């Protein structure tokens, strides 16, 4: 508050003393200019008086008198303004003892000049040497005016000196105020700021340490989460493998029947060949070669069945970088072949709508095959209670520029349309001996491949479809065989 009071006092001093002095200094310039003009008017007055007296005719004399009249009026007005001040001429009144004395002495020359000029203006034909009177008093008048101008300049100099003194005093007061502010205000404030900065630095250091500890904790949690995710993927893979093994249990009878057919054919053709070979010489070489070809075909067929079983129950890798280009059309046909015995056993008609467009995706073929087997088996099991003539499964494949859609549609009772997400929940099942993990595993597999699986609303039966991103087609070299062909050759 003290500092504010001092500042307010300095502002009052500035308005009460400095500003009036500045205004007064501005007023000295017109005063001095008017005093100089007074000297010029005096000369003009004398010149007009001489012209009026020496004019050769009345016309020129009258013109000179008119000029003298105007000059006298301006001269008297300037003199009065210098003495008394004039708002019209914006000349202030400046007084001092020296000026009062000089103005009184100036009247001894001013009054005679005015009287003589008025005689000439009045038109006295024989003025008592009025022009001579004006000329006689002009020189002393001008000298006295020079002294008055000097006094005006002296007064202005005094005002400047007073203004400088006041300015220096105010500057000294401001300097003292700044020193006082620095000592009593800035210095304590600096100390307080320094203390707060030190405290802030301490808090920042403490906070940094806390954040470092938190980052270490987060890193530990991330590592634990990654480990948990790895374990989750491993368990999901084991569960998926267990589900495939369980599915293979359902297919075991049919696969055994499928294997018995080529193996029985091999035994029969081998026995017939042995009979032919026991004949000496062999009775029919052409029939022998035919039996051998049929033995070879039957053994290849049995090898393909074994190959499909091995592929289906094999353990898969969890890493998506191990995905490979998969032809969905070929994979669908292989799943239908794998489930063929179950399809015949349930007396169900299977219709494929695959089309000619290539449907190649980056995927794990065993996992996608597992999804298709689950969907086909669900459809077969759901239609046990309906008439044989109505049992039908349609597998459709649609391909566009971005994704391929596989749909499995059956004619069974379908799902509850009020909640089409419930069947994907783990351990949700409507079967007496079911675990309820089939569709949940299917959703996990499809999601891991960047796709989506859902149940579509249908008027009759169940309509389950999944989408997978389409990959650019892979061009095989002329000498490069397909993986299935290589496995068939090895099995054969």
The per-residue pLDDT for 5 is 62
Question: Does pLDDT of 38 surpass 50?
Answer: yes
Per the model's pLDDT, the better-predicted residue between 48 and 405 turns out to be: 405
| Average pLDDT for 182-204 | 87
The per-residue pLDDT for 84 is 81
Band (pLDDT 50/70/90 cuts) for residue 16 is low
| Average pLDDT for 376-389 | 88
For domain 2-190, give the CATH number.
1.20.120
Band (pLDDT 50/70/90 cuts) for residue 2 is low
| Average pLDDT for 436-448 | 82
Distance CA 400, CA 383 (A): 31
The per-residue pLDDT for 355 is 77
The per-residue pLDDT for 340 is 83
Task: List pLDDT tens digits, range 477-488.
Answer: 455 444 444 334
Task: List pLDDT tens digits, range 71-115.
Answer: 888 888 888 887 787 777 777 777 788 888 888 888 888 888 888
pTM, two decimal places = 0.41
The per-residue pLDDT for 490 is 34
Distance CA 459, CA 109 (A): 133
Question: Does pLDDT of 221 surpass 80?
Answer: yes
The half-sphere exposure of 426 on its side-chain side, counting CA atoms within 13 A, is: 5
The per-residue pLDDT for 188 is 85
Angle between helices 285-313 and 187-278 (to 10 degrees): 160
Question: Does pLDDT of 201 surpass 50?
Answer: yes
Q: Rounded to 5 degrees, what angle do the CA atoms 426, 232, 427 make?
A: 10
The per-residue pLDDT for 394 is 93
| Average pLDDT for 292-297 | 72
Q: Is there a contact between 293 and 269 (Cβ–Cβ < 8 Å)?
A: no
| Average pLDDT for 19-37 | 63
Question: Does pLDDT of 368 surpass 80?
Answer: yes
| Average pLDDT for 223-228 | 88
The per-residue pLDDT for 18 is 53
Identify the architecture of domain 320-492 in CATH: 2-Layer Sandwich (3.30)
The per-residue pLDDT for 484 is 41
Per the model's pLDDT, the better-predicted residue between 282 and 329 turns out to be: 329
Asked which of 73-87, 208-222, 350-364, 365-379 is least confident by mean pLDDT, the reply is 73-87
Where on the phi/psi map is residue 85: left (φ > 0), alpha (ψ -120 to 50), or beta?
left
Distance CA 98, CA 102 (A): 6
Question: Does pLDDT of 395 surpass 90?
Answer: yes
Question: Does pLDDT of 287 surpass 70?
Answer: no
How many CB atoms within 10 Å of residue 286? 7
Query: Could you tell me what percent of the chain has a pLDDT over 90?
Result: 11
Query: Could you tell me what percent of the chain has a pLDDT over 70?
Result: 71
- Which residue spans within 28-87 are E strands per DSSP? none
Per the model's pLDDT, the better-predicted residue between 119 and 159 turns out to be: 119
Task: List pLDDT tens digits, range 156-186.
Answer: 777 778 778 877 888 888 888 888 877 887 8
Asked which of 139-143, 306-310, 436-440 is least confident by mean pLDDT, the reply is 306-310
The per-residue pLDDT for 17 is 55
State the chain's mean pLDDT as an integer: 76
DSSP 457: P
- Topology alike, domains 2-190 and 320-492: no
Q: Rounded to 5 degrees, what angle do the CA atoms 336, 342, 419 make?
A: 80
Domain boundaries of the chain, sorted by first residue: 2-190, 320-492
The per-residue pLDDT for 489 is 39
Question: Does pLDDT of 20 surpass 60?
Answer: no
Question: Does pLDDT of 492 surpass 50?
Answer: no
The per-residue pLDDT for 485 is 43
Per the model's pLDDT, the better-predicted residue between 293 and 420 turns out to be: 420
Of these ranges, 61-65, 200-204, 375-379, the one predicted with the greatest mean pLDDT is: 200-204
The per-residue pLDDT for 393 is 93
Q: Is there a contact between 491 and 307 (Cβ–Cβ < 8 Å)?
A: yes
């Amino acid at each position: 508050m003290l500092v504010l009071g001092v500042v307010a006092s300095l502002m009052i001093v500035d308005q009460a003393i400095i500003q009036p002095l500045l205004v007064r200094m501005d007023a000295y310039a017109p005063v001095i200019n008017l005093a100089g003009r007074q000297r010029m008017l005096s000369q003009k007055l004398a010149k007009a008086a001489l012209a009026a007296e020496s004019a050769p005719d009345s016309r020129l004399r009258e013109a000179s008198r008119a000029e003298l009249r105007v000059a006298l009026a301006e001269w008297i007005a300037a003199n009065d303004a210098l003495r008394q001040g004039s708002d019209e001429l914006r000349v202030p009144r400046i007084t001092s003892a020296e000026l009062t004395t000089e103005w009184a002495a100036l009247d001894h020359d001013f009054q005679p000049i005015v009287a003589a000029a008025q005689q000439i203006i009045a038109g006295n034909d024989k003025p008592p040497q009025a022009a001579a009177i004006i000329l006689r008093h002009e020189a002393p008048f001008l000298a006295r005016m020079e002294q008055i101008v000097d006094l005006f300049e002296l007064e202005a100099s005094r005002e400047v000196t007073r203004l400088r003194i006041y300015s220096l005093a105010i500057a000294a007061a401001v300097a003292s105020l700044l020193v006082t502010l620095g000592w009593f205000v800035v210095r304590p404030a600096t100390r307080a700021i320094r203390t707060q900065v030190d405290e802030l630095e301490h808090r920042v250091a403490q906070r940094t340490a806390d954040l470092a500890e938190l980052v270490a904790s987060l890193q530990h949690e991330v590592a634990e989460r990654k480990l948990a995710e790895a374990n989750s993927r491993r368990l999901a893979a084991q569960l998926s493998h267990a589900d495939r093994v369980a599915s293979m249990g359902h297919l075991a009878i049919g696969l055994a029947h499928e294997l018995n057919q080529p193996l029985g054919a091999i035994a029969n053709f081998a026995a017939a060949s042995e009979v032919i070979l026991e004949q000496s010489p062999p009775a029919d070489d052409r029939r022998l070669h035919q039996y051998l070809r049929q033995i070879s075909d039957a053994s290849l067929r049995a090898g393909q069945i074994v190959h499909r079983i091995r592929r289906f129950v094999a353990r898969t890798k969890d890493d998506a970088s191990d995905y490979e280009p998969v032809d969905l059309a070929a994979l669908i046909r292989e799943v239908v072949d794998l489930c063929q015995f179950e399809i015949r056993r349930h007396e169900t008609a299977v219709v494929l709508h695959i089309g000619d467009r290539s449907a190649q995706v980056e995927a794990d073929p065993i996992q996608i095959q597992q999804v298709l087997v689950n969907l086909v088996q669900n459809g077969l099991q759901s239609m046990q209670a309906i008439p044989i003539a109505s049992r039908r499964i349609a597998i459709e494949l649609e391909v566009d520029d971005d994704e391929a859609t596989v749909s499995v549609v059956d004619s069974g009772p379908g799902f509850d349309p009020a909640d089409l997400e419930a069947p994907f929940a783990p351990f949700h099942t409507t079967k007496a001996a079911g675990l309820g993990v089939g569709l949940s595993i299917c959703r996990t597999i499809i999601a891991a491949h960047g796709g989506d699986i859902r149940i579509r609303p249908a008027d009759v039966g169940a309509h389950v479809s999944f989408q997978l991103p389409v990959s650019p087609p892979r061009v095989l070299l002329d000498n490069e065989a397909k993986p299935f062909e290589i496995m068939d050759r090895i099995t054969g």
